[in-house]
Chain A
Amino acid sequence: GQNIDQPTEMTATEGAIVQINCTYQTSGFNGLFWYQQHAGEAPTFLSYNVLDGLEEKGRFSSFLSRSKGYSYLLLKELQMKDSASYLCASPGGSQGNLIFGKGTKLSVKP
């Protein structure tokens, strides 16, 4: 079946580094997406990994290990505006539709 797991909540301090993990079990793996969603707003695309390894994009990096069914999102130099939910998703549904994890709510404290 298809399943994506990520922690429900995390707390971190402004200026620090935080790693948000995601494990997945999807049939016919076709990449792993990360989205950011501020409360009451639309999800916005952060990253897409299809090959193993780390991809860096400014303060945000995303890592994928296909053999372990594992990904993480790394946020550096945390800012208050990074307080949001982070959604992990993979095209493992019917006809390749995205299956979303339930999201990790990150709270950044001063």
Chain B
Amino acid sequence: DADVTQTPRNRITKTGKRIMLECSQTKGHDRMYWYRQDPGLGLRLIYYSFDVKDINKGEISDGYSVSRQAQAKFSLSLESAIPNQTALYFCATSEGTAYEQYFGPGTRLTVT
């Protein structure tokens, strides 16, 4: 089984809809991250969490919210989706700052 899983893998939704992307990990890491990836822009950090009670905004948090339900679960929500949130979203985990990050398989989100 994969160490970091994301659901759904693909999603098409309409402008204004609320959508939640879920991430689970079995690596036992405290640190979890949400990124979005757009062609030509690379990976950009949306939110990160160092433990269940510690959640922080990243570079591009506007329009997004997160919930850390447990050490192993970190969800990303789009309260009212808009077309420019169409992107590939990745969840990642790490043991610490200067440690490699382990990425989930990604969720391809399309907002029409």
Interface of B is mostly: strand
The number of inter-chain residue pairs (CB within 8 angstroms) is: 55
Cβ–Cβ contact A97 & B45, under 8 A: yes
Residues of B within 8 A of A48 (CB): 98, 100
Q: Which positions in A face B, CB cutoff 8 Å?
A: 30-31, 33, 40-45, 48, 50, 87, 91, 93-98, 100-103
Interface of A is mostly: loop
Tell me which of A87, A96, A100 contacts B98 (CB under 8 A). A96
Residues of A within 8 A of B43 (CB): 43, 87, 100
Cβ–Cβ contact A97 & B58, under 8 A: yes
Residues of A within 8 A of B101 (CB): 43, 45, 98
Residues of B within 8 A of A45 (CB): 100-102
Cβ–Cβ contact B56 & A94, under 8 A: yes
Residues of A within 8 A of B59 (CB): 93
